[in-house]
Amino acid sequence: MGLSERGINIVALESIEVPLAGKIIEVNINVGGAINEGDIICILESMKMENPILSPVSGTIKEINVTAGESVKAGGIIAIIEY
């Protein structure tokens, strides 16, 4: 009998990290909202270019750690997705 058959749900969390230092210019997600793999999480401006940050998984947004206009450092956590 598998874990799901016993009523045990297995949940994984995916941390979305800032790939390079810059400024968040747009946030496209809300806590509790659904997201699909490939959806744009936010737009990061770095080196005078706008870089979309895409979701690597489908799931539910559990936490957002950035706001529009915020300067961020590489390695910081943008959001956490439960899947």
Q: Which domains does the chain have, with CATH numbers?
A: 13-82 (2.40.50.100)
Task: Supply the pLDDT for residue 9.
Answer: 72
Q: 40-79, pLDDT tens digit by residue?
A: 999 999 999 999 999 999 999 999 999 999 999 999 999 9
65 near 81, Cβ under 8 Å?
A: no
Kindly state the tokens that stand for 19: 């790939």
pTM for the complete prediction?
Answer: 0.86
Three-state SS for 81? strand
